[in-house]
Chain A
Amino acid sequence: MKFVDEYRDPTAARALVSQITALSGDDQFKLMEVCGGHTHTIYRHGIEHVLPANVELVHGPGCPVCVIPMGRVDDAIAVAREPGVIFTSFGDMMRVPGSRGNLLTAKAEGADIRFVYSPLDALQVAIDNPDREVVFFAVGFETTAPSTALTLLQAKAKGVDNFSVFSNHVTIVPPLRAILESPDMRLHGFLGPGHVSTVVGQRPYRFVPSEYGLPLVTAGFEPLDVLQAISMLLTQIREGRCEVENQYSRVVREEGNPRALAILAEVFELRPHFEWRGLGFISQSGLKLRSEFSAFDAELKYRIPGVRVADPKACQCGEVLKGVIKPWECKVFGTACTPETPIGTCMVSSEGACAAYYNFGRMHREAAVALGRRSQLTV
């Protein structure tokens, strides 16, 4: 197909890479891709290998599975073990480690834990099992939260009183701010998230240039999208501009999806604090159900242990999520921590930086150099 080829065209890619090389000159640039989907594209297509060595991509906190702290997984398991409860979860969350096992091990030990594709499936389980209590383990950024919100509106309209939501929804802006405030971070710009932006639009990112003096370009998920967004970031820097730009305008609109935002605001409100894996407590970063929906709030319906659990000492997910270290620099990467037996969340989801590195068998070019090999290691 013509248009597919256009976005994979090697000539166009080469042209963009030479543009990036020319723009970067002899200076060092560190750009963060916020979204796990971009991390996936970058590894999948070996984008790090074609960029000049002085343009470095660091992987941000935009994988909703990766940012759930251990204590919240323990809380989920505690609810799942309550008598009479059917606990429903997206498949990605099933292997995320808590302090003692994960949802899969809890299921093996007898808890009724079911995998669902959609929050609507969880609601349907509740309708089909009126004598049981059904809880949905809600995770995700603004991409996913409107779906949970709409499901809750339906549950309320239908009077389904045996359904509740354990909300772990988070918002994208507060962790960006936390990263910008972090003293060990040196960034020159951001590749803004694609799907989250279809909901929130471009406005929420304006603080990045206005308060921190850094450019942000929202990018699509094709390799050429990512390359073009990098080129747009460097162009801004070289022209002395600093703005929010939209490379992915074929999907993302300036104002986002006002209807989805209205539904979100109707059902959810910001928590004062929410704990993020590796980033600690971030103010106003998590979403909880509004009091009008308290009958559907699993945190009010059940006793939640709420014990904060420190990440395992060996695990460096926090540093990976902040882009301070590369996945392969973590002490347990690929040895004790693998996608089959993950210690840290970044190894669980296919959008996590560690799993992406591991699955594509790529070594970062620095690692390749350190090991004295050629950098063209194959997939």
Chain B
Amino acid sequence: MCLGIPGQIKVFSDVHEHLARVDVSGVTRVVNIGLLEDEHLKVDDWVLIHVGFAMSKIDEEEAALTLDSLKLMGQAYEEELEALSSSKTSSESGDR
């Protein structure tokens, strides 16, 4: 459960609620960026996502490295991605 998945910020979708649309392995998810408010995040910045929240800002190299490691984890990573996909609040369709 302590996995951090890299995602790249695409759109700041709701400034009031601290939400951003983030590309995670080719799928757009909505994550909360409230914990990184002081980081002055920009579009195309990379963040590490944990339980629906961006928990740290990382650079592109670190993102590639982490993604590659996660893929090596196999099942644990797939389960995490599946869990992220099942998340209602992070779904892009806006059924909130």
Contact = CB atoms under 8 A, between A and B. Distances in A.
Contacts of A147: 32, 35, 50-53, 55
With a 10 A CB-CB cut-off, give which of A63, A250, A258 has the most chain B CB atoms: A250
Size category of the B interface is 35 or more
A139 B65 CA distance: 27
A120 B65 contact: no
A260 B32 CA distance: 13
With a 10 A CB-CB cut-off, give which of B17, B52, B58 has the most chain A CB atoms: B52
A289 to B, nearest CB: 18
B1 A259 contact: no
A60 interface: no
CB-based closest 6 A-B pairs:
A118-B52, A117-B87, A117-B83, A3-B61, A120-B89, A92-B1
Given A91-B79, A147-B35, 5 more contacts: A1-B64, A124-B88, A125-B88, A351-B1, A351-B2
24 contacts: A1-B68, A44-B72, A64-B1, A91-B1, A91-B79, A115-B86, A117-B90, A119-B51, A120-B89, A121-B89, A124-B88, A140-B1, A140-B2, A143-B2, A143-B50, A144-B1, A147-B50, A147-B55, A154-B17, A198-B48, A250-B62, A259-B37, A259-B38, A351-B2
Interface of B: 1-4, 17, 32, 34-38, 48, 50-53, 55-56, 58-59, 61-62, 64-66, 68-69, 72-73, 75-76, 79, 83-84, 86-90, 96
Interface of A: 1, 3-4, 7, 35-37, 40-41, 44, 63-65, 90-92, 115-121, 123-125, 139-141, 143-144, 146-147, 150, 154, 195, 198-199, 221-222, 250-251, 257-260, 263, 349-351
